[in-house]
Structure 1
Amino acid sequence: MKLQSLFALLIIGLSCSTVSAQVNLKDLRVKPDSVISENKQENISLKNIRPIVPKLELQVDYWKHWTRFGITANQAYFNEDWQGGGVNSLAVGFNFYHKSDYTRDNFNFVSELDLKYGKVRNRDQMAKKNNDRIFWDNKISYKLSKNWSLYTSLTFESQFDVGYTYAFIDGRDTITGTVSAFMAPGYFTESLGFEYKPSNEFSLRLGTGTARQTLILDDRIKPLTVEEYKQKYPDREPIDKDQERYGIEAGKMFKNDLAFQITANLDKNIAKNLNLKSRYNLFANYNKLSDPAHRLDVTLTAKVTSLVNVTLNGIVVYDSEVVSKVQASESLALGITYSLPR
């Protein structure tokens, strides 16, 4: 009995000591809003800082430009002992091409300038031009759908140098007449219609409203009446009817035509280093739709190196106002061409 009482007292004593320890631990706990440090809390001030952001003046350039210019040459030489036949010759040509394109939303402007000039000199003959062209085409279009646009264009065509006719007289190469010169003829063509352009390689214009002005501003080419010819060339055999050149009547220097026009352009890389560029133009005067004028220009360029090209040019023209036959020319040349951008 005494042992049990002693054991009970021991348990009660341990319980009391435990409770006392817990009370002391609770006193040591810090309340959430208490300040442990004896120093007073300092006030913190925050300032708004505006970071320096570099000003990026980014602008969209809607223009694209391409330029190509170069020189071509052909040469043949035979010494005095050569028995296979042949004539010494040298041909040199210069060309310049530039295209600018402005495209923004559905609006597009394209300007193309194509300049070519070349001369050939054969032994015992005069130097004669074998290429001569000024071509400047400007077109504004507004896209109506994915492939169709409404367009208007202005085109100028002429040549740089005087063109002559030649004949051998008394064994000598001699000029017998003048057939062309700068602005003789010169053409201005204004066109309004629809353009079909399924890709950047091909386009087709249908100029339902087209006007073309033909000018002859050189008196050497100007068509003459019978009386004017007699006064100008009193030593020559007189003509029996008034002259007409490039569709312009005698005594005049200007003519205006209203026509329907078709223009097709192709610029395609048919192989890695082989480009085909062609332009076909049909001009049908509304006064004689059954006899339209045609012109086809084809250029095949093979790129040998970054600067050296081999170029094959072909031109086919039919215009009854100039001559009632098909005109054709072809040239093959090795040249140095520089293109921008590289």
Structure 2
Amino acid sequence: MKNLFTFCFFLFIISQTFGQDIDSLNIDSKKDTTYWDSEFSAGLNFNQAAFSGNWKAGGVNSVAFGSIVSGKANYAKGKLSWDNQLELIYGIVKNEGQQLRKSNDRIFFDSKVGYKAGKNWSYFGSINFLTQFTDGFEFGPDDQRTLISGFLSPAFLTSGIGMEYKPNKDFALRIAPFSPRFTFVTDPTIIQNVPSNYGVPEGQTVRTEWLALQLFATYNKDITDNLSIRSRYQMFANYETLAFRTIDHRLDVTLIAKITRFVDVTFTSINVYDLDMDPGIQYSQALALGILYKVNNKK
């Protein structure tokens, strides 16, 4: 925990420095919001299937529910910028004869302060956080379940200091040669079912990786008025254990196709390679039809 306190103090010093720069611009947020680009969206989707007892084609009665809440608040004036993003996703499915299961679960927050260094380059300092809402289980024979994850088990708090390349409004690449990361596993029983304990040493709740490189790329584009893509790629490499197989990769992709003003089809895909979790590539995908409400401050 001493390392965590040191890191938090380090971030406090950075925030105070940038805060003084913002104050020097004499910004009155109550009077002038033209430098802010904000957006909020919330979506719900529901799927249901039912079959009669003599339905010869086969099938399982099921009910599924999904939700997504996302928002951003980005500030830019002169050479200074401050970008914030929040993403909350949760879904459940209930098949007849089986226990309630999750279909999706994610909490993600990212905040970045930048300062222009040239036409397409900026200095930046960032922090992002990733975890899940509820317990995750592995299901076996007779629907027996084994706890393998939970809220803050694991959780990842990753920082970064470096340069950002942003040639246009759609694409951005952060290169952070100094990128400390904290991995949390607050449930001590997880190690009984996940021997790697997500990289956290046995008997501890936090693993600290001070010397690391992070690449963080985003591509967000409205392809047409009714079709948009939101993608995020993150690479994390610990200098102390650096090898091709120990580099972590994560790719999130969301495609949204609007059918009407409030009805849309959403495809989400998550792809993860992390040796501390599993030696193979993990992936999940979901396709849903539902209601999406979206507001922003653009005129």
Does TM, scored on the shorter chain, surpass 0.5? yes
Amino acid in structure 2 at the alignment position of 1:105: G
Aligned mates of 1:276, 1:243 — CA distance in 2: 37
Q: Percent identity?
A: 39
User: What pairs with 1:86-235 in structure 2 (closer than 5 Å)?
Assistant: 86-169=59-142, 173-175=143-145, 177-221=146-190, 223=191
| CA-to-aligned-CA distance 1:274-305 (integer Å, 9 cap, x gap) | 10111011111112322201111111110001
Match for residue 20 of structure 2?
A: none
Aligned mates of 2:32, 2:291 — CA distance in 1: 36
State the Cα distance separating 1:75 from its structure 2 match.
2.2
Amino acid in structure 1 at the alignment position of 2:67: F
| CA-to-aligned-CA distance 1:174-216 (integer Å, 9 cap, x gap) | 22x2111111111111100110001111101111110100111
Aligned mates of 2:32, 2:187 — CA distance in 1: 48
8 A Cα contact 1:243 1:250, kept in partner? no
CA 1:319–1:60: 2 relative to 1, 3 Å: closer
8 A Cα contact 1:308 1:336, kept in partner? yes
8 A Cα contact 1:280 1:295, kept in partner? yes
Which entry has the higher C-alpha Rg, 1 or 2? 1
Aligned mates of 1:293, 1:303 — CA distance in 2: 33
User: What pairs with 1:187-336 in structure 2 (closer than 5 Å)?
Assistant: 187-221=156-190, 223=191, 243-257=195-209, 258-290=211-243, 291-336=246-291
Aligned mates of 1:111, 1:86 — CA distance in 2: 44
Q: How large is the RMSD of aligned CA atoms in angstroms?
A: 1.8
Amino acid in structure 1 at the alignment position of 2:77: R
8 A Cα contact 2:196 2:277, kept in partner? no
Aligned mates of 1:220, 1:78 — CA distance in 2: 40
Q: Give unmatched runs, 5+ long, in structure 2.
A: 1-29
Q: Give unmatched runs, 5+ long, in structure 1.
A: 1-56, 230-241
Aligned mates of 1:59, 1:164 — CA distance in 2: 48
Aligned mates of 1:73, 1:218 — CA distance in 2: 32
Deviates further, 100-109 or 264-273:
264-273
CA 1:58–1:123: 2 relative to 1, 3 Å: closer
Aligned mates of 1:61, 1:330 — CA distance in 2: 37
User: What pairs with 1:57-68 in structure 2 (closer than 5 Å)?
Assistant: 59=32, 61-68=34-41
Amino acid in structure 1 at the alignment position of 2:150: A
Amino acid in structure 1 at the alignment position of 2:275: S
CA 1:58–1:212: 2 relative to 1, 3 Å: closer
Aligned mates of 1:336, 1:58 — CA distance in 2: 34
8 A Cα contact 2:235 2:248, kept in partner? yes
Match for residue 42 of structure 2?
A: 69
CA 1:294–1:60: 2 relative to 1, 3 Å: closer
Aligned mates of 1:58, 1:152 — CA distance in 2: 28
CA 1:60–1:276: 2 relative to 1, 3 Å: closer
| CA-to-aligned-CA distance 1:238-271 (integer Å, 9 cap, x gap) | xxxx943101121121101131111110111222
Amino acid in structure 2 at the alignment position of 1:316: N
Greater length-normalized contact order (CA 8 Å, ≥ 6 residues apart)? 2
Aligned mates of 1:115, 1:245 — CA distance in 2: 24
Hey, which bits of structure 1, 4+ residues long, moved more than 3 A?
A: 57-61
8 A Cα contact 1:101 1:110, kept in partner? yes
State the Cα distance separating 1:130 from its structure 2 match.
1.0
State the Cα distance separating 1:90 from its structure 2 match.
1.5
3-state SS in 2 of match to 1:206: strand
Q: What is the total number of aligned residue pairs between the two structures?
A: 265
CA 1:206–1:86: 2 relative to 1, 3 Å: same
